[in-house]
Amino acid sequence: MSKEIHDLIIIGAGPSALTAAIYTAREDIETVLYEKAVVGGMAAITDKIDNYPGFPDGIDGFELTDRMQKQAEKFGTKIEVGEVTALRDENGIKILIVDNKEIRAKAVLISTGSDYNKIGVPGEVEYYGRGVHYCATCDGAFYRGKEIAVIGGGNSAVQEAIYLTRFAKHIHLLVRSTVKASDVLQKELQQMINEGKIMVHAGTTTDEIVATDNKVSSVKVTKDGKTNLIEINGVFIFAGLKPNTQFLVGSGIELDEIGFVKTDCNLQTNFPGVYCSGDVRSGSTMQVASAVGEGATAALNIREYLSNL
């Protein structure tokens, strides 16, 4: 077991983590990132990010996060492939288990992001970013004047379907059983139905997302035992979010009722020296721009924490 103690370990390598690393490494804080999957996180596999400041024509998600990675590494950030499975504090030193090895640090930033719950149908994973979406705010504007499907019947699905009427010509709301949104949202939904903007398909299962020329063109659905195709240009799935915090269960780090990490106004968890930023943080807005801002804020607070040790 190595007795080396790193200044800062960042768990995750999405936009928030990479931004924090740019700030800390630039100030000669030794910074190591551990990422178990793709550097850039979910942003890296997004076909186009259209609402990030400074890019009026939008930017490919991989290109944006690749630029962030290069900038972080230019200042000395070390990015390692590795899965963190546990975190604990021993007399102020943070002990992380990474690929079954103990790694030590003076400070830790949790920036593992979150993942969208999948519905598990053919075409969902294959056409992500090419007609399959999980964020109306991020991608709704791509569908001005077009026909889309929204899958889900809870508050988030109904709320996002109503939001998407700003762009889409018509929306098919596909609900497995019945709409279970709040009364207020159901009243707003009824208004959209009356105006012909949304059609609710209750008791409908989504069986497959179908593509033509590598772009989503329809959804195969079943209702009352009958299967048919609904022609659409895009699909938005709202089955909830799952924070990537499984490794924190039992660690003592406070999580909210869904599993997102709780922090104070300085983005510090209940463990001194352990911070959290980005989509995994309780109260996050789930936007790349805000994740970047939180990464910078966390870095500045970490710098102050380390200087006071």
**Over the stretch 88-130, which tens digit does the pLDDT of each residue have?**
999 999 999 999 999 999 999 999 998 888 999 999 999 998 9
- Asked if 228 and 248 sit in the same domain, the reply is no
pLDDT at 143: 97
- 105 sits in which H/E element: strand 101-110
Give the range of the structural domain holding residue 51, as residue numbers without chain letter: 5-115+241-307
CATH code, domain carrying 132: 3.50.50.60
How far CA 258 is from CA of 143, 242, 255, in Å, comes to 31, 8, 8
Position 304 pLDDT exceeds 90: yes
Concerning whether 265 is annotated as a catalytic residue, the answer is no
Concerning whether 276 is annotated as a catalytic residue, the answer is no
Helix (H, G, I), strand (E, B) or coil at 98: strand
- Asked if 94 and 147 sit in the same domain, the reply is no
**Over the stretch 288-297, which tens digit does the pLDDT of each residue have?**
999 999 999 9
Catalytic residue among 138, 183, 264, 276: 138
Its pTM surpasses 0.85: no
Give the rounded percent of residues in the chain with a pLDDT score beyond 70. 99
pLDDT at 44: 86
- Asked if 143 and 189 sit in the same domain, the reply is yes
| The amino acid at 217 | S
Distance CA 286, CA 106 (A): 28
Position 23 pLDDT exceeds 90: yes
Tell me the average pLDDT across 264-275: 98
How many helices (H) and strands (E) the chain has is answered by: 7, 17
- Asked if 135 and 282 sit in the same domain, the reply is no
Catalytic residue among 47, 50, 60, 135: 135
